[in-house]
Amino acid sequence: MANRQELIKKYWAEQLNEQERAWLMEDLRRNPTHPAYEPILQHLWKEAASEAPLTSVRSRQLEAAFQAKRNAQRGKIRQLIWYRAAVVSGLVLTAALVWFLLKADSLTEYATDYGEIRTLTLPDSSRVTLNANSAIHYAAKWDVDVAREVWLDGEAYFSVTHTQNDQPFIVHVTDGLRVNVLGTEFNVKERRNEAEVVLYRGSVNLTMDRDNAGEQTLAMKPGELIAISPDNRQVARKSVNTVNHQAWRDQKMIFEKISLQQIARQLEDIYGITIQIKDSRLAETRLTGAFPAHNLETVLVSLQTIIPLKIVRDKNHIILQSNQ
């Protein structure tokens, strides 16, 4: 995909194709304060004002309605238009940003609910399996002469189809972090402000923006895991048993010397609950085991077969205590 400046030039020349417009739309949504977008926002503000100006109150109403509709349709493939207000330095970028997103071509988004796993086919016949509480979106149509691009929130397993013209496939994980592939299989997870990529076969490159230091590229080999903290760009690389990191696709959980606290965080992300561990020693207890994870109750019962636990549950809040 062309860089931001090249796409902005094409925007002014009205030469953006659908994928390029989708990329620019997403980049503006994530980086509304970037200096390169100031002329566009000023232009769009005037354009929107001439059509149907939006007050900050109306913009918030639009966002609330959008979020309500999105939640109601969660778990379904649908066409949508991104629109929302961005608050920057105390100023609400209402009409300009909303107008830009409303006039842009539609994206396809797919989202899963808590405890839900779904597999879908992308426009190029690549396959992606979304873990629970995850979402992916991409341009409704893909051109054969530009990179295939998707944006991921949560966790997903990709099986990417290689094209005859070596068309790149890019997964945007967090702001400034991208997974670049041709044809391969890999797992991507972005939870709690940390990104993690596990490569099963083929090869991928991770590209990170380093602010004023430019980009950094990390090449991965099969069997490797790379974890990155987007805030400080700290990188951890290690070899792993890849089977453990894709067990969720078969509704299984496999742990190998993982603390109960880490397991609790995974369960919170997947099932939309909160877990409190009373004893710090219990929280740091390392567990190894494998069990089915069709639902939360099955997981909790299985945990009790590995470690003596007393489980107290109040709706979506769970307390774990030692039963010894």
The number of folded domains in the chain is 3
Q: What is the mean pLDDT of the chain?
A: 79
The string of pLDDT tens digits covering residues 154-186 is 999 999 999 888 899 999 887 678 899 978 999
Which of 40, 70, 105 represents a domain boundary (last residue)?
A: 105
What pTM, to 2 d.p., does this model score? 0.71
196 and 120 both lie in a single domain: yes
Same domain, 115 and 97: no
Residues 187 and 203 in one domain: yes
- Clarify whether residues 89 and 174 are in a common domain: no
Compute the half-sphere exposure of residue 63: CA atoms within 13 Å on the CB side of its CA: 16
Residues 242 and 255 in one domain: no
List, as one string, the DSSP characters of 242-277: HHHHHGGGGTEEEEEEEEHHHHHHHHHHHH--EEEE
Per-residue pLDDT tens for 297-314? 999 999 988 888 999 998
Q: Are residues 262 and 287 in the same domain?
A: yes
Cα→Cα distances 100→42, 117, 222, Å: 11, 33, 41
* Nearest partner of 102 among 116, 85, 114, judged by Cα: 85
What DSSP assignment string belongs to 169-186? EEEEEETTEEEEESS-EE
Beta-carbon count within 10 A of 93 CB: 23
Among 193, 218, 246, the domain-final residue is 246
Last residue of a domain, one of 63, 83, 105: 105
User: Which pLDDT belongs to residue 266?
Assistant: 93
The verdict on 73 and 154 lying in the same domain is no
On whether both 241 and 112 belong to a single domain, the answer is yes
Are 137 and 268 within one domain? no
Q: Could you tell me if 128 and 193 lie in one domain?
A: yes
Of the pLDDT bands very low, low, confident and very high (cuts 50, 70, 90), residue 28 is confident
Query: Which domain does 112 fall in, by range?
Result: 107-246
pLDDT reading at 60 higher than 90: no
My answer on whether 111 and 97 are in the same domain is: no
Least confident segment among 20-34, 55-69, 169-183 = 55-69
CATH number at residue 202: 2.60.120.1440
